[in-house]
Amino acid sequence: MKNKIRQLRKSRGMRQEDLARFLGVTRQTINAIENDKYNPTLELAMRLAKFLNTTVEELFILDD
């Protein structure tokens, strides 16, 4: 599953550490999600979308 987290985070001038701190996860978790190495829980996906002012459907792209 691909995602747009990195581009939305960078457009806000945020570091991975900043996003991680706000969401209560580690920087390594954000890094793994951004690099498509970890699919977040539904709760974390929803919190990411809310924080980045988008929807889960827009944030994550399901591979066919």
Residue 47, pLDDT above cutoff 80: yes
Q: How far is CA 54 from CA 28, 47, in A?
A: 22, 10
Mean pLDDT rounded to a whole number for the chain: 96
Summarised one tens digit per residue, pLDDT across range 14-34 is 999 999 999 999 999 999 999
Which tokens sit at 32? 């793994």
Residue 5 CA, chain-centre distance (Å), reads 4
If one counts every other C-beta atom within 10 angstroms of the C-beta of residue 27, the result is 14
